[in-house]
Structure 1
Amino acid sequence: MSLFHFKQFVINQEACPMKINTDGVLLGAMVDLAGAKQILDIGTGTGVIALMMAQRNSGAQIDAIDIDAAAAERSKQNFENSLFRAQLKSYHHGFKEFFELYPHSKYDLIVSNPPYHLNALQSPKEKTNLSKHTTQQFFFDLLLASKSHLAKNGRLVMVLPVETSLMLQTTAKDFGLYPHHIVKIKSYPDKAHIRHVISFSLSDDEALSFSDFCIYDQQSVHSLQYKALLKDFFKIF
């Protein structure tokens, strides 16, 4: 059994096409939860991001959806086995189907660690394709759907490869969403940025701001930033 022990919950990853990864835990620990009472996690996988948000915000109700049946069932089990089960619900739906079923739903926060290989050579394994590969149209559909289901002051937050983030920064306004903050993530101080945690809102009144985050100080030595961010979750800190 593939178990990952956090300080306040345990994740069973068995049969999930997307395992716990750095992108997901950074998003779960980093996303601003201020004022977020209704949250949607799109592509929840193991449910780790939803569980991290539930631990951080005891007043939030979190819906977690995944298009993969095994992932949806696994996240449901992980939720039910946690201290935060009352805050969490898991659904086996893609976001389009989910919003069709719940057309009047509104969220203060929508988060996603979406498929990240954009228009890349796909794996012969279908489950791997679903969890890791996508197209520009996927993101356009996600922006459009999110815009319709965000509360007035709601936010859409995603962790993305830099090139995908740059693409969405220029196209999101066409779908009624505007980037207002980006955390630029790099592995080492002397390396290029590899990910953006990008936050969109419905308002274009706020100037786009940036912050930097580094995972390692040197080989196998986590940065103080990383340790401070994950100290409430990882047993090693």
Structure 2
Amino acid sequence: MKVCTDACVLGAYADVGERAGGTVNNASGERLLDIGTGTGLLALMAAQRNPTATIDAVEIDENAFAQATENSAASPFAERVAVFHSRIQDFWSEHMYDRILTNPPFYTNHLRSSDAAVNRALHTDELPFGELVEAVVRLMKPDGQWWVLLPPYEAGKLAELAQKFGLHPFRRLSLQHHEQKPFFRVISGFSFVNAEPLDETLTIYEHKPQSKSGVAYTAEFRKLLQDFYLIF
């Protein structure tokens, strides 16, 4: 599966135990879980950001699992990232997790692709939201955080469902391509603490008539992704 811009934003934005100023909070974020790791993107970004973290990455698709395993082995973080070929509903660990990252499938009634791997990645049949929330509640520490990326409507539905399991949003980042465009993704941070969430926004592009394409990345986007995008 292709690496998407919004997934990169999730990997750079989510709290993975790193404190502001570049220091690491060793009391939290020590053990992370990436549900549906795909290529291993979020797991590897978390490993880069938090040099003391141990990351478990779970992937149901066989080819994606193989690719994530290969990418992890070729990275500088191979000793700290373990990839598992499993449904999250069946995944068991002797550890509870400080942080859980998820870029889940979200289509329910859309037309199907002829590619089974695409269907698994984009459609909720393999991982309904209810089963996803149950897995998070089972695997996350009482003081842990769950970070999830979804379109706005699905993010709202998930938040309603999560609260029935005692999970509450404490932070939200809404993404838009341009200031004139509607928000197309929401990154939500959940915890077991019921508090008023902090709402933020991020615009990816701004108009730059002098550039060849007529657009450029915003300063906010460049700052967030500068440690991961080679073009910055």
Letter in 2 for 1:221: A
Letter in 2 for 1:111: L
Note if contact 1:188-1:216 (Cα within 8 Å) is conserved in structure 2.
yes
Number of the residue aligned with 1:235: 230
Aligned to 1:29: 12
- Residues 151-166 of structure 1: pairs in structure 2 closer than 5 A: 151-166=141-156
How many angstroms apart in 1 are the aligned matches of 2:117 and 2:126?
Answer: 19
1:179 corresponds in structure 2 to 169
2:216 to 217, 221, 232: 221
Distance 1:136 1:65 in 2: 13
Question: For the structure 1 residues 137 and 119, does the alpha-carbon distance in structure 2 shift closer, same or farther, using more than 3 Å as the test?
Answer: farther
Contact 1:37/1:60 (8 A) holds in 2: yes
**Deviations 1:138-179 (Å, cap 9, x if unpaired)?**
111111110121112101111100110011122211122111
Query: Counterparts of 1:48 and 1:220 in 2: how far apart (Å)?
Result: 26
Q: TM-score, normalised by structure 2?
A: 0.89
Give per-residue Cα distances to partners, 1:61-109, cap 9 Å, x unaligned. 000010001111111111111111111001111101113xx3x431001
Q: What is the SS of the residue equivalent to 2:193?
A: coil
Corresponding letter in the other structure for 2:227: D
Could you say if the C-alpha distance between residues 92 and 30 of structure 1 is closer, same or farther in structure 2, counting changes exceeding 3 Å?
Answer: same
2:39 to 41, 46, 56: 46
Q: Which amino acid in the other structure matches residue 134 of structure 1?
A: T
TM-score, structure 1 normalization: 0.87
Distance 1:136 1:49, change over 3 A: closer
SS at match of 1:95: coil
2:157 to 163, 167, 175: 167
- Number of residue pairs matched by the alignment: 216
Contact 1:118–1:136 (CA under 8 A) maintained in structure 2: no
Q: Deviations over 1:101-145 (max 9, x none)?
A: x3x431001111111323322223211100111159711111111
Question: After the TM superposition, which residues 50-65 of structure 1 pair with which residues of structure 2 at under 5 Å, given as runs?
Answer: 50-65=43-58
Task: Identify unmatched segments of 5+ residues in structure 1.
Answer: 1-17
Give yes or no for contact 1:118–1:164 (8 Å, CA) kept in 2: no
Alignment partner, residue 203 of structure 1: 193
Structure 1 residue runs of 4+, over 3 Å off?
Answer: none
Identical columns (%): 33
